[in-house]
């Protein structure tokens, strides 16, 4: 749909915003999720001290419960927005996020904090699913790609800077101050969306929420070989990344003794994902999704194998770990967007519901894999390196089954 037609959809009470403002609003909405996830990393020891958590691995629940809420929320956000429109579901999710932030600030116990984190994750499921749907509603073709590329640059940059931002907050206040910052940011994004973001899904294109229709769409999604296969493969590789994030604070502070410099090391590693996103956007049109993603998965497996071997031989110093971790992030960035596109390729007729289900499957599989690996942390990198290697082998095996052994080969002839 052209930009002019998209503008004609908007509610009469909202004036259409310009392209630049639209990109900024979408990027700010999408940033809620990674900001709430990664700002907490430097605060985990402080939270443990505040609540008397004796087992360091239990602090990983601050991260994993957030992702559980995020994964579960995606199941319903897509179908709800397809039925009632983007705006009410998005604003509702952002309101839940703000309320959960207040609950976290006042949390009297660790269990209450975990409940608040799960609700935060649930609220950000709306921002992640619906922001993408809004872009799809308003733009097509190169204009849509332009919006998503610009928004994803912000989305990718946030995990790089969020731990350092969290560390800066801790220099002037305690860990609850991070939730104050998250709440204020959420309220700002909510207010901007209320005032400026129009409804983008016309009444004529809304879908039924009848159980038979929703279940039919779910069935079509999970029974399609390519869709479910790439969803499970993506879940495995995301699980390795979640495990890295869950245990990053312990690895950098307990093993490599970086102390407050840990966020800088994390940012340097995460920058590999940003580089990958830029390269993928430039190369995917020329090489294709399969060539790039299969090559990245192979690199992921090689990196995992090298990390496992060097750690087993007690030959994994900080510089080598940094290089391998940056390569892990780089290959992940080259892989996961293409896995998503390959999974969604056959589901254009039920894109909203399929996108929700795909997001839930990948997130929840990733959480299970990440928690199993992360909770195995024993003061060394061996559990992580082993889990990283095994989960990558599982992803590679799944892709081989989906593609019937034909890796690196486009399945469609290029258009003349």
Sign of torsion over alpha carbons 62, 59, 177, 164: negative
CB 170 within 8 A of CB 45: no
155 and 259, same structural domain?
Answer: no
Output the furthest CA–CA distance in the chain (Å, rounded).
Answer: 67
CATH of the domain at 27: 1.20.1250.20
Q: How confident is the model at residue 413 (pLDDT cuts 50, 70, 90)?
A: very low
Count how many domains the chain has.
2
Secondary structure (DSSP) of 259-312:
GGGHHHHHHHHHHHHHHHHHHHHHHHHHH-HHHHHHHHHHHHHHHHHHHHHHHH
Asked if the model's pLDDT at residue 281 lies above 80, the reply is no
Per-residue pLDDT of 221-274, as tens digits, reads 888 899 899 999 999 999 999 999 888 889 999 999 998 888 888 888 888 877
Mean pLDDT of 376-391: 94
Mean of the per-residue pLDDT values of the chain: 85
Domain termination site, one of 163, 189, 207: 207
Asked if the model's pLDDT at residue 78 lies above 90, the reply is no
Token pair 């995460």: residue = 270
247 and 161, same structural domain?
Answer: no
In a domain, 416, yes or no: no
Asked if the model's pLDDT at residue 324 lies above 90, the reply is yes
Mean pLDDT of 280-293: 80
What pLDDT is attached to residue 327? Answer: 95
Which among 362, 157, 161, 165 is positioned nearest to 273, based on CA atoms?
Answer: 157
Which among 247, 39, 209 is positioned nearest to 124, based on CA atoms?
Answer: 39
What pLDDT is attached to residue 349? Answer: 63
DSSP 8-state class, residue 14: S
Domain termination site, one of 182, 207, 232: 207
CB 376 within 8 A of CB 277: no
In a domain, 415, yes or no: no
CB 415 within 8 A of CB 337: no
216 and 190, same structural domain?
Answer: no
Mean pLDDT of 84-88: 88
In a domain, 294, yes or no: yes
Asked if the model's pLDDT at residue 283 lies above 90, the reply is no
Q: How confident is the model at residue 278 (pLDDT cuts 50, 70, 90)?
A: confident
Compare 324 and 200 and report the one with higher pLDDT. Answer: 324
Q: How confident is the model at residue 348 (pLDDT cuts 50, 70, 90)?
A: low
In a domain, 331, yes or no: yes
Residue 65 tokens read as 């419960």
Residue 135 tokens read as 């872009």
174 and 97, same structural domain?
Answer: yes
Compare 251 and 207 and report the one with higher pLDDT. Answer: 251
Residue 238 tokens read as 């995301």
Question: Which domain covers residue 330, as residue numbers?
Answer: 210-409
Asked if the model's pLDDT at residue 69 lies above 90, the reply is yes
Asked if the model's pLDDT at residue 25 lies above 70, the reply is yes
Asked if the model's pLDDT at residue 399 lies above 50, the reply is yes
Buried/exposed 288-297: b ≥16 CB within 10 Å, e otherwise:
bbbbbbbbbb
Domain termination site, one of 166, 187, 207: 207
In a domain, 5, yes or no: yes
Which among 249, 221, 338 is positioned nearest to 285, based on CA atoms?
Answer: 338
What pLDDT is attached to residue 147? Answer: 67
Asked if the model's pLDDT at residue 135 lies above 60, the reply is yes
Asked if the model's pLDDT at residue 109 lies above 80, the reply is yes
What pTM did the predictor assign? 0.79
What pLDDT is attached to residue 394? Answer: 96
DSSP 8-state class, residue 40: T
Mean pLDDT of 300-323: 96
């Amino acid at each position: 749909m052209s930009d002019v037609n998209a503008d004609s959809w908007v509610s009469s009470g909202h004036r259409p915003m310009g392209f630049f403002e639209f990109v900024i609003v979408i990027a700010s909405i999408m940033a809620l999720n990674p900001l709430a996830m990664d700002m907490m990393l430097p605060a985990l020891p402080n939270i443990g001290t505040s609540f008397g958590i004796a087992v360091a691995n239990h602090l990983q629940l601050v991260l994993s419960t957030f992702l559980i809420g995020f994964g579960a929320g995606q199941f319903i956000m897509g179908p709800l927005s397809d039925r009632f429109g983007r705006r009410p579901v998005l604003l509702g999710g952002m309101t839940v996020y703000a309320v959960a932030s207040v609950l976290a600030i006042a949390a009297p116990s660790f269990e209450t904090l975990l409940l608040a984190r799960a609700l935060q994750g649930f609220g950000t499921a709306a921002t992640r699913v619906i922001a993408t749907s809004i872009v799809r509603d308003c733009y097509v073709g190169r204009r849509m790609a332009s919006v998503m590329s610009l928004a994803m640059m912000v989305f990718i940059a946030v995990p790089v800077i969020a731990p350092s931002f969290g560390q800066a907050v801790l220099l002037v206040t305690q860990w609850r101050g991070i939730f104050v910052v998250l709440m204020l940011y959420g309220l700002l994004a909510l207010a901007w969306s209320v005032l400026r973001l129009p409804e983008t899904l016309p009444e004529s294109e809304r879908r039924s929420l009848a159980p038979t229709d929703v279940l039919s769409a779910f069935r079509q999604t999970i029974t399609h070989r390519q869709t479910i296969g790439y969803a499970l493969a993506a879940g495995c590789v995301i699980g390795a990344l979640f495990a890295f994030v869950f245990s990053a604070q312990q690895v950098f502070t307990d093993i490599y003794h970086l102390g407050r410099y840990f966020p800088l090391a994390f940012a340097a590693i995460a920058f590999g994902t940003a580089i990958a996103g830029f390269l993928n956007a430039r190369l995917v049109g020329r090489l294709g999704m399969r060539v790039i993603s299969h090559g990245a998965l192979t690199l992921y497996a090689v990196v995992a194998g090298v990390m496992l071997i060097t750690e087993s031989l007690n030959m994994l110093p900080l510089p080598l770990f940094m290089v391998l971790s940056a390569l892990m992030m780089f290959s992940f960035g080259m892989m996961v967007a293409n896995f998503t596109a390959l999974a969604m390729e056959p589901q254009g007729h039920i894109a909203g519901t399929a996108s929700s289900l795909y997001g839930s499957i990948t997130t929840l599989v990733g959480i299970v894999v990440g928690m199993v690996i992360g909770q195995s942390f024993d003061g060394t990198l061996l559990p992580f390196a082993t889990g990283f290697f095994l989960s990558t082998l599982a992803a590679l095996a799944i892709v081989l089954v989906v593609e019937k052994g034909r890796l690196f080969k486009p399945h469609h002839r290029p258009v003349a």
